[in-house]
Structure 1
């Protein structure tokens, strides 16, 4: 008797679980969006750059530095003596870039410090003096003892950032962090360019007060 009840129960459940073999038909969904005043402008854009131009042209004030109007601009340069075979080349590249863009030599102050770890300290001091429009921070950290490398590289990066935030003056990060001396030399005038020159160019592009 118990067996018959179980069998009938399973049969009943099986009947309930059967679904008719019919193709599923989904009604097409209609989605409408409210019109936007800028939709036509975005639709007419053929690329990201054109869209950006449309958005930027809606009355925003755009401030940027100039490579041709450097009259009276003053720059501080803090350079590390450690690994000076590299940092001297970076400094040379930076000074040549300033000269190329008509920054007068008397408007550039170069301060030498023992190493990259000390660069942010002087950068902050120069920034707070109120005498400079931007501070260029130059150094070279080359991997040796991994723990020492990481500590100095991280401290230099965060230190330069904090110096700029604290002083309210742009502090440009021109400290190389490289695996070996060959890599550093390649970035100090070798096949990878001169990062000191690039940092000086970045300093020139900051908008003046």
Structure 2
């Protein structure tokens, strides 16, 4: 169960001329598609139009950083979103994938100086993941506000 946590309130601003790139893994699609929906609903509040949003679907979590790198290298986007869901299994695979994906996303963000919304769920079970499918919009808030701050500095 998700505990009540005091949330930082980041208000939408006019980003209608911005481009957004989303990379979503298809593995655990019933979860990642809901995260993507949450991101797209929130994107509308910033004035982002669907024709200014690129959505790249990859097979699994491990493929996310490379596609993010490709989008970042294009120089077309003000922010990116990484969407994936890694659920713990019976082997150490969960730890390896979670670590490599997290490090890869961070590397792209730092190398290309582009904010990436980290909407990668790393959960012990499917129930935990399903309880978190609506938080993609919160991750987008953080990335868009970071992008605006970087432009201002």
What TM-score bracket applies, with the shorter chain setting the length? 0.7 to 0.9
Q: Where does structure 1 differ by over 4 angstroms across 4 or more consecutive aligned residues? A: none
Residue 71 of structure 1 pairs with residue 11 of structure 2: no
Match runs of 1:145-164 below 5 Å: 145-164=90-109
The answer to whether the 8 A contact 2:28-2:85 is kept is yes
Q: Structure 1 length normalisation: TM-score? A: 0.64
1:64-107: CA deviation from partner (whole Å, max 9, x where unpaired): x9722213111100000000010000000000110122111111
Partner residue in 2 for 1:111: 56
Higher-RCO chain (CA-CA 8 Å, sequence separation at least 6): 2
The answer to whether the 8 A contact 2:31-2:129 is kept is yes
Unaligned 5+ runs, structure 1: 1-64, 189-193
Q: Work out which of the residue numbers 37, 61, 74 in structure 2 matches 1:92.
A: 37
Residue 179 of structure 1 pairs with residue 129 of structure 2: no
Match runs of 1:119-138 below 5 Å: 119-138=64-83
Cα RMSD of the aligned pairs, angstroms, is 1.4
Residue 139 of structure 1 pairs with residue 84 of structure 2: yes
Partner residue in 1 for 2:144: 204
Q: Quote the Cα distance in structure 2 between the aligned partners of 1:74 and 1:144.
A: 36
The structure that has the greater radius of gyration is 1
Match runs of 1:3-14 below 5 Å: none
The answer to whether the 8 A contact 2:22-2:55 is kept is yes
Q: C-alpha displacement at 1:115, in angstroms?
A: 0.6
Q: Structure 2 length normalisation: TM-score? A: 0.86
Unaligned 5+ runs, structure 2: 1-9
Q: Quote the Cα distance in structure 2 between the aligned partners of 1:146 and 1:187.
A: 23
The answer to whether the 8 A contact 1:66-1:204 is kept is no
**Alpha carbons of 1:66 and 1:195: their partners in 2 closer, same or farther (altered >3 Å)?**
closer
